Amino acid sequence: MASEIMEKAQSIRNYLVECKRRIHRHPELGMHEIETAAFVRSELKKLGIELQPIDTPVGVVGIVRGQKDAPGRVIALRADMDALPIQEEAAVPDASEVAGVMHACGHDAHTAMLLGAAKILTSMPDRFSGVVKLIFQPAEETLGGSELMIRLGCLENPTVDVILGQHGIAEFATGDIAFREGPSMASSDTFSVTVKGVGGHGAYPHNSGADALLASANCVMSLQGLITRQFNAVDPVVLSICTFHGGTAKNIIPAEVTFGGSIRCQSPASRSRIRDVMDHMISSIVAGYNCTHELDYVYGVPPLVNDPDVVHAMRSAAAKLLGEEHVKTMSQARMGSEDYACYCEKIPASCFARLGIRQEGKEPTRFHSPTFVFDEEALPVGAGFFVQAVLELNGAIAGPTL
């Protein structure tokens, strides 16, 4: 038997599908979500939802107030809106109308689910206290949208106490929601190394005495062993070298070589160490070849860490919504990254749930692929979860202690 909130979410299924399909047909890349954000604003205004002023055309913050004068937390619910530079190949009724751009990660669905949650919450303001902030952000895929929204004040006026997000996952069936306590997704940083030596003729390498290419090649090989010898094996760190450039001709030893890549860390402690450890190793290697180097290390998003107390409350909410049998556990943390982690860093009382979208009898859909399909039957589940989460945290007695 469906719960009350699940029934409410199912009752607006057509609205959820209509919103998702409208956004799916008109995808926009990160920091270009002009039409999507305008559509979201229009829908929130139709619901009579207050809009928090925010100085960007590609982000939206709505404010839903609960019982008048009733104390309660400020809860933020977040959705992302950007698409990917992929040509859609899936045979779906809402196929992208923009050449080379499609929603291949479900952000159209995330946006629709948050609009649906807003629709339900505005119909029952007497059922919860406090304030719900609806954060619709741009540019998750390029890992910059959350920083923009934070900088523009989305977590302030009023200050957010708890923040919640969710993302589709093909590992679990539609109708399930999965959680993980503690470190759940990795940080995402990038680096570029420039090794400088002395150029020369390929027939006389001894005349240069400072082979930047040979030094760089040894750095690439040695850095692969850095993780296993400098970091605890049970604290996952991934270092991938993805680019290597140097030289202009087959008989010229290059004076300069560059290589770079990506680093993922599960823990803030490992992330705080790895740049200096890399720099020390590279410096030692290139010095042996009479070369010098420059390391350009760019910090991206931090690790995504779920607060155990909030996860416990969200598991309870999911069980009330769907039944205990549909509440799952993510057995392993993922080395992928999510810029929702920037919100977690500012608001530690946070939970990022994973919404099952695997259709029964079908192969799991592949994210970031031209054939990606988000199961629309999951839309009411996601919308209902956001609403049930608000009731769990900000019910008539302001929810559990966190």
Provide the annotated binding site.
105, 107, 141, 167, 368
- What do you get for the CA distance between the two ends of the chain, in Å? 30
Cα distances (Å, whole numbers) of residue 382 to 92, 163, 370: 21, 15, 23
d(CA 12, CA 114): 12
Q: Give me the count of residues in the chain.
A: 402
d(CA 213, CA 111): 48
Is the dihedral angle over the CA atoms 377, 383, 386, 390 positive or is it negative? Answer: negative
d(CA 43, CA 15): 11
Half-sphere exposure (Cβ direction) of 23: Cα atoms closer than 13 Å: 32
Residue 4 CB neighbour total at 10 angstroms: 15
Backbone angles phi, psi at 64, to 5 degrees: -115, 125
Q: What residues contact residue 68 under an 8 Å CB cut-off, 6+ apart?
A: none
**Surface-to-core class of residue 115, CB atoms within 10 Å of its CB (0-12 exposed, 13-18 middle, 19+ buried):** buried
Q: What is the DSSP letter of 372?
A: -
Cβ–Cβ < 8 Å for 344, 181: no
Quick one: how far is CA 369 from the chain centroid? 17
Residue numbers in the known binding site for Mn(2+) are 105, 107, 141, 167, 368
Is the dihedral angle over the CA atoms 16, 22, 28, 32 positive or is it negative? Answer: negative
Cβ–Cβ < 8 Å for 164, 314: yes
Q: Is 163 helix (H, G, I), strand (E, B) or coil?
A: strand
d(CA 378, CA 175): 6
Nearest Cα to Cα of residue 70 among 402, 397, 400, 401: 397
The C-alpha R_g of the chain, in whole angstroms, comes to 24
